[in-house]
Each structure stands twice: as structure tokens, then as C-alpha cells.
Amino acid sequence: MRKFFIFSVFLTISLGVLVGCSNSENGVEEASEVASGEQLSSQQNIDTHEVVAVEPTDEHTCAFCDMKVYGMEHEMGVFTAQIQMEDGEHYFFDDVGCLLNYERGKDEQAIAKWVRDYNSSEWIDLDGSVPVKADIITPMKYGYALFNSEKAAQTFVDERKDINAVISSWDEIDHVSHERYMKKMGQNEEGHDGN
């Protein structure tokens, strides 16, 4: 009987070890699958940030020039622009030239860019907007109003001869903002040389 009891204990321990090892191996596989799933889920969260324009708060300043960014309710808010990065972060700009200059020399590109429609102050996709150059005061004195359609831009041009309104292009805005950028960088370099 004693031999049977020892054999039973040995058999129980052996089975326990075998089952435990089997569960450990499965546990490792399951843990690996869970880790992979969490990694995939985390990657999906990065890739699936909701791409949507948001409103700036009173605390936001221009990500390029550090000047005040105006909200929709302010008369200068119609010139506010924003970008959204891959990580979901939004950056705001007081004028469109600042948005273009912010992106110069950056490794990370924006996944979305918005400007305000001059007529409604609603956010519109930058690439679909139509710029009009006019003798208007904008926060950084670029002088561009942006519209949600060619028709709206042309109506503004036709109705506002008094401020020399003309349909422009994003290439023109980019050229003007690049010149300012180079001038600013030159001034910064001169300032560092003089120290």
C-alpha cells in the first residue's frame, strides 16, 4: 500500500508538472499573443486618431511665431490656421504664412491642415481653399483671405475692388512666407554671430 501511495503522489506531481509546463508554454504563447494584440491595438490608435479640426483656447499661441492665436469669435480669428500631426497633436497659427514656415525643415509632416473660410469662419481643408490677396490686415500682415470655393473667392474679388482683391495661389503664399522665413533665419544667425 505504501508503494501505491508513493506511486500515486509521484504520478500526481508528475502530471502537475506536465500540466504546468504545458500551461506555461501556452501561457507564453498567450502572453505573446496578448502583447502582440496590445501592440497592434496601440499602433491602430496611433494610426486612427480622429482627424478633425478643433478650436484653439485662450492659452494657445502660434506654433511658429509665438503670437496670440485668435478664436472664431474674434475678428482676427478668421485668419487662424491649424495642423494635426500623426500623434493627434494640433498646432495653431495666427496667419497662414506661419503654418507654411512651421513645416519648413520638419521631419514630421502634418496629416491634416485647415484654414478658416473668410465668409463663415468655419474650418476648411487647406488644400481645397482658394486664397485671395487683398489690402486687408491679418495678424502677421500676409494679407490673404481664404475661401471654400472659387465662386466665393471670385464674388469677394468682384465686390471688393476697393481693397485690391485678386485671386492668388498657395505657391504665391509659400513664396512670400519662404522669403520671410529666410530673412528671419538670417537675422537669427546675425544675432548669434554678434554674441
**Phi, psi angles (nearest 5°) of residue 115:** -130, 170
* Position 3 confidence tier, pLDDT thresholds 50, 70, 90: low
pLDDT for 16 beyond 90:
no
pLDDT for 40 beyond 70:
no
Q: What are 148's three cell numbers? A: 471654400
Classify the C-alpha dihedral 91-104-147-52 as positive or negative.
Answer: negative
Q: What are 130's three cell numbers? A: 482658394
Cβ count near 64 (within 10 Å): 23
CA distance 116 to 12: 74
* Position 22 confidence tier, pLDDT thresholds 50, 70, 90: very low
CA distance 47 to 86: 7
CA 127 to centroid of chain Cα atoms: 15
pLDDT for 9 beyond 90:
no
Q: What are 89's three cell numbers? A: 497633436
pLDDT for 19 beyond 80:
no
Interval 95-109 mean pLDDT: 91
Sequence letter at residue 123: W
Higher pLDDT, 18 or 121: 121
Interval 118-145 mean pLDDT: 98
Provide the mean pLDDT of the chain: 81
Output DSSP code: residue 92.
Answer: E
Report the pLDDT value the prediction gives residue 190, as an integer from 0 to 100: 65
